[in-house]
Structure 1
């Protein structure tokens, strides 16, 4: 069985998260207005947001760090298509303890786990302290981070991802307080809306759903169907309207 036989991966997603074109444009505009010379993207994926910042900040250079080789290759192809290959580097490595800062803009969009000890629980406070270390004085951090829109019940948690528990996320107020404790001032606070979530969730599974409809007898179909049905159920029956994503534009103090 070759990769050609299997469904393509995330080709219907522009961003790897619930982020609309309109919101992305506003976020990029605010960051580019600070005239950054260097941009660091932690857990960059294919680097769509990183590339847009570079397009809007002429002369800036960027580094995207991730451990997914396939996503990084997609990012390099996108950079070539946009004539940005000489201004951006995609690196396959762990971001934990990274020495690639300080940068004028640091992006961490749904990837704070990359800055946490993989042997321990997710610690967004530790990730924020790492982001404070990686950003240059007067720079900006854009953090995309999950939060509870309301604390889920035990029954709701049981319908989410395996092992989900209340401590996986914080309420929005507590998340922002952690950012302040880490040495930031929150210059802008916004959250993904329902339309952004639905576009992301549907786009996340779109390639696989089309493939399953066209290949019902494929040797990998049963296992693939089980996985995608389970993931869809965790959203529709679990974290829908409970889990939110905040986009925090943070300015280091001092």
Structure 2
């Protein structure tokens, strides 16, 4: 079996996270207004938001780093298709300890774990300090980070991922306080709404669900079905309405 015999991967997602077109447009406008010359995207996936910032900021250059080679290839292809190949580099590798930077704009969307070996929730503070070192004076950091919208119940924790803990995330106020302690001022605080989560979760599984409907007897159908069912149950029975994703636009303190 080759890749063409398996479910397509995340083709229904524009962004690898709960981010709507409307919110993305507002974020890009806000970030482009600062005129960044260099953009660093940590744990970039296919780097869609970075590419949009580059489109909105003529002359700016970008660098995306991620461990997933398939996502990096998608980012490179998208850059070529949009005439940005000469202004952006996609690298397969770890962001931890990278000498790249500082940059005028640093994006870290759902990838703080890439900057620290600490276990949650300590990794968030460590990642914020690492981001402070990677942003140029007067620049911006856009951090996409998980937080508890409310304390999860024991039943909800049981429905989430294995070994989920009530102390695994901070609440939003504590998350923002950590950013301030790391040397930032929060220029903008917002979080994904329920519609963005539903769009993301549905898009995350959509390719797989349609493939399963058409490949009931495929040798990998049972394994693929079990994995999809586990993910859907984790969302619907566990973190739906409990886990949030904050988008913090942070300004480094001089």
Q: Give the TM-score of the pair, scaled to structure 2.
A: 0.98
- Secondary structure of 1:250 counterpart: strand
Q: Give the TM-score of the pair, scaled to structure 1.
A: 0.98
Runs of 4+ in 1 over 4 A off after TM superposition: none
1:53 is aligned to 53
Matched, 1:9 2:9: yes
- Secondary structure of 2:167 counterpart: helix
- Secondary structure of 1:167 counterpart: coil
Shift of 1:125: 0.1
- Secondary structure of 2:52 counterpart: helix
2:119 is aligned to 121
Structure 1 portions without partners, runs of 5+: none
- Secondary structure of 1:106 counterpart: strand
Shift of 1:156: 1.2
Shift of 1:38: 0.1
Shift of 1:57: 0.5
Deviation string, structure 1 residues 13-39 (Cα, Å, up to 9, x no partner):
000000000000000011100000000
State the alpha-carbon separation in 2 of the partners of residues 15 and 162 from structure 1.
Answer: 25
2:41 is aligned to 41
Deviation string, structure 1 residues 47-81 (Cα, Å, up to 9, x no partner):
10110000001000000000000000000000000
State the alpha-carbon separation in 2 of the partners of residues 213 and 154 from structure 1.
Answer: 34
State the alpha-carbon separation in 1 of the partners of residues 38 and 206 from structure 2.
Answer: 35
Q: Please report the RMSD computed on the Cα atoms of aligned residues, expressed in angstroms.
A: 0.6
Deviation string, structure 1 residues 78-102 (Cα, Å, up to 9, x no partner):
0000000000000011011121110
- Secondary structure of 1:86 counterpart: helix
1:78 is aligned to 78
State the alpha-carbon separation in 2 of the partners of residues 44 and 167 from structure 1.
Answer: 27
* Count of matched residue positions in the alignment of Structure 1 and Structure 2: 252
State the alpha-carbon separation in 2 of the partners of residues 26 and 164 from structure 1.
Answer: 33
State the alpha-carbon separation in 2 of the partners of residues 99 and 21 from structure 1.
Answer: 32
Shift of 1:168: 1.6
Shift of 1:155: 1.9
State the alpha-carbon separation in 1 of the partners of residues 102 and 49 from structure 2.
Answer: 19
Map 1:1-254; keep pairs closer than 5 Å: 1-117=1-117, 120-122=118-120, 123-254=123-254
Shift of 1:167: 2.1
